[in-house]
């Protein structure tokens, strides 16, 4: 079979779906890799590197789509709503697309994608099970985002992160507050600590307290109802919960030089956690990096894709932040996809084994229908009626089960360390 890797068309996207280092593993699966010329240039992977690894360079994008049995992309469908439509129009019956498709943001759009009769996998929907950790693109990209967020904050902050004792006097360390202790938050904590900052963190799930402390940060506790949902994810709460949370958080934010927010809900608007009142009480020159900017932002004043100054505070709302470190982001994404393809391809042929949770949990369209239960529910579609479809990629199999809950990033394993102090806040 032939795997096609086209150049990304989403504005500002610098990543590539597969890197040269993954080609050896794909060859062992019986696959030939076609790469559009220049696809990896911005990530530091030139055509000659792909050729040396055994790939065929294709200059005509249309030819690549016609020749490939399976297409690997970073962003497709809803994740690339404008320029990505031209690629969707080229999909044919039975052809496979593996990419980030963002189906939860616009599930109705996936019904139109289904009309192409292609088999579309959305990697964001990877189930949260142990075996799927090596395929979890959300966690991989969140790692990049958490690291980059700290670098953005450090470059805009009018002071250094570490404490320094110099002949000219002692410089106090920066105080960093991370809201959300998922993968991005934990990476932001670790990076801030490496730079010498004093770090505090808060999460609506009390269970992550130990993970935060293991990285040397102080866990901020608030006397609120737990917001931990099924599978360890943070669940969406009502407005009264967020109102009380904001009142308690005001006291912490007032003392911070840097605030990094990471609370995003797949397919939904991000909750407002940092209000304008909080921004007003922050020290002059302090910085907020809002990693939830793509979905509206956690800060009330965030402007997606912009860096603004309000009340003497710099507020950064980055978009597609993992693309800012394209080499390692591509490497991690490529490893995720390669591991997934090892489950999908058997003896050189793609096989949709619907008893495999990773395959059943990520396939969104097949046989002209939206087959993912949760996406169908969001799109307002009725119960799935399986059509008799006989293609090499659709062996007889039961329909996929509905996802129990939207996917999210999974916390990484953390080293053991001595626990540190804990802040406790209440209404008293």
The answer on pLDDT for 144 being more than 60 is: yes
Looking at residue 382, its pLDDT comes to 81
pLDDT band at 428 (very low <50, low <70, confident <90, very high): very low
The answer on pLDDT for 143 being more than 60 is: yes
Q: Which contacts (CB < 8 Å, 24+ apart) does range 350-355 have?
A: 350/1, 350/69, 350/70, 350/96, 350/119, 350/392, 350/393, 351/393, 351/395, 352/119, 352/393, 352/394, 352/395, 352/397, 353/395, 353/397, 354/397, 354/398, 354/399, 354/400, 355/397
Looking at residue 241, its pLDDT comes to 74
Looking at residue 399, its pLDDT comes to 40
Looking at residue 207, its pLDDT comes to 86
Euclidean distance between CA atoms 426 and 245, whole angstroms: 10
Say which of 85, 90, 108, 133 is annotated catalytic.
Answer: 133
Looking at residue 235, its pLDDT comes to 52
Q: Edge to edge, what strands does the sheet with 218-222 contain?
A: 307-310, 313-316, 287-290, 258-261, 175-179, 198-202, 218-222, 422-425
Looking at residue 390, its pLDDT comes to 44
Q: Which of 264, 266, 251, 272 is nearest to 177 (CA)?
A: 251
421 CB-side CA count, 13 A: 5
Say which of 136, 203, 257, 290 is annotated catalytic.
Answer: 136
Say which of 50, 147, 202, 233 is annotated catalytic.
Answer: 233
Looking at residue 244, its pLDDT comes to 78
pLDDT band at 330 (very low <50, low <70, confident <90, very high): very high
The answer on pLDDT for 408 being more than 50 is: no
The rounded mean pLDDT for the chain is: 88
pLDDT band at 411 (very low <50, low <70, confident <90, very high): very low
Q: Which of 357, 358, 346, 359 is nearest to 392 (CA)?
A: 346
Residue 387 C-alpha from the chain's centroid? 33
The answer on pLDDT for 410 being more than 60 is: no
Say which of 22, 139, 323, 330 is annotated catalytic.
Answer: 139
The answer on pLDDT for 14 being more than 90 is: yes
pLDDT in tens, 155-172: 999 999 999 999 999 999
Alpha carbon of 148 to those of 42, 323, 418: distances in Å? 18, 10, 26
Share of the chain above pLDDT 90, in %: 78
**Phi and psi of 354, rounded to 5°?**
-75, 0
More confident residue, 234 or 267: 267
Q: Report yes or no: 376 and 235 within 8 Å, Cβ to Cβ.
A: no
Looking at residue 394, its pLDDT comes to 41
pLDDT in tens, 187-224: 999 999 999 999 999 998 888 999 999 999 999 987 66
Q: Report yes or no: 314 and 320 within 8 Å, Cβ to Cβ.
A: no
Looking at residue 238, its pLDDT comes to 64
Instruction: Judge whether 100 counts as a catalytic residue.
Output: no
Q: Which of 290, 220, 211 is nearest to 255 (CA)?
A: 220
The answer on pLDDT for 8 being more than 70 is: yes
The answer on pLDDT for 419 being more than 50 is: no
Euclidean distance between CA atoms 65 and 403, whole angstroms: 30
Sign of torsion over alpha carbons 325, 257, 414, 424: negative
Count of beta carbons in the 10 Å neighbourhood of residue 347: 7
Looking at residue 117, its pLDDT comes to 96
Place of tokens 């990094």: 260
Tokens of 323: 């693309």
pLDDT in tens, 397-407: 344 343 333 33
Looking at residue 108, its pLDDT comes to 94
Instruction: Judge whether 233 counts as a catalytic residue.
Output: yes
The answer on pLDDT for 370 being more than 50 is: yes
Say which of 14, 15, 75, 128 is annotated catalytic.
Answer: 128
Count of beta carbons in the 10 Å neighbourhood of residue 1: 17
The answer on pLDDT for 88 being more than 90 is: yes
Euclidean distance between CA atoms 13 and 304, whole angstroms: 16
The answer on pLDDT for 389 being more than 50 is: no
pLDDT band at 387 (very low <50, low <70, confident <90, very high): low
Listed range (102-111, 267-276, 333-342) with the worst mean pLDDT: 267-276
pLDDT in tens, 15-70: 999 999 999 999 999 999 999 999 999 999 999 999 999 999 999 999 999 999 99
Instruction: Judge whether 136 counts as a catalytic residue.
Output: yes
The answer on pLDDT for 369 being more than 80 is: yes
Looking at residue 406, its pLDDT comes to 38
pLDDT band at 383 (very low <50, low <70, confident <90, very high): confident
pLDDT in tens, 273-324: 999 999 999 999 999 999 999 999 999 999 999 999 999 999 999 999 999 9
């Amino acid at each position: 079979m032939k795997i096609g890797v086209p150049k990304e068309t989403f504005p500002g996207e610098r990543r590539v779906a597969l890197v040269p280092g993954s080609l050896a593993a794909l060859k062992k699966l019986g696959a030939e890799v076609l790469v559009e010329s220049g696809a990896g240039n911005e990530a530091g992977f030139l055509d000659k590197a792909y050729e040396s690894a055994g790939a065929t360079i294709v200059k005509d994008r249309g030819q690549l789509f016609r020749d490939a049995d399976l297409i690997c992309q970073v962003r497709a469908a809803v994740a690339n709503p404008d320029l990505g439509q031209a690629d969707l129009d080229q999909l044919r019956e039975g052809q496979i697309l593996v990419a980030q498709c963002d189906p939860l943001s616009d599930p109705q759009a996936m019904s139109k994608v289904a009309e192409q009769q292609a088999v579309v996998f959305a990697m964001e929907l990877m189930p949260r099970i142990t075996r799927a950790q090596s395929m979890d693109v959300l966690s991989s990209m969140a790692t990049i985002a958490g690291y980059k967020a700290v670098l953005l904050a450090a470059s805009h902050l009018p002071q250094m992160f570490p404490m320094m004792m110099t002949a000219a006097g002692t410089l106090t360390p920066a105080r960093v507050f991370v809201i959300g202790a998922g993968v991005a938050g934990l990476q932001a904590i670790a990076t801030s600590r490496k730079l010498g900052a004093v770090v505090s963190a808060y999460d609506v799930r009390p269970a992550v307290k130990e993970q935060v402390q293991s990285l040397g940060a102080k866990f901020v506790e608030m006397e609120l109802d737990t917001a931990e949902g099924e599978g360890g994810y943070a669940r969406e709460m009502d407005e009264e919960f967020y109102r009380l949370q904001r009142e308690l958080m005001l006291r912490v934010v007032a003392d911070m030089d840097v605030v990094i927010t990471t609370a995003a809900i797949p397919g939904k608007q991000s909750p407002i956690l940092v209000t304008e009142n909080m921004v007003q009480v922050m020290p002059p020159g302090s910085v907020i990096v809002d990693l939830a900017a793509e979905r509206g932002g956690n800060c009330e004043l965030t402007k997606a894709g912009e860096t603004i100054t309000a009340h003497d505070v710099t507020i950064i709302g980055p978009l597609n932040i993992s693309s800012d470190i394209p080499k390692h982001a591509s490497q991690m994404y490529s490893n995720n996809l390669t591991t997934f393809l090892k489950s999908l391809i058997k003896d050189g042929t793609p096989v949709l084994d619907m008893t495999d949770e990773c395959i059943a949990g990520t396939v969104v369209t097949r046989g002209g229908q939206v087959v993912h239960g949760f996406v169908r529910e969001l799109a307002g579609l009725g119960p799935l009626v399986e059509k008799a479809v006989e293609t090499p990629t659709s062996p007889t199999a039961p329909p996929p089960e509905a996802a129990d809950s939207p996917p999210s990033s999974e916390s990484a394993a953390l080293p053991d360390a001595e626990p540190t102090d804990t802040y406790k806040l209440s209404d008293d």
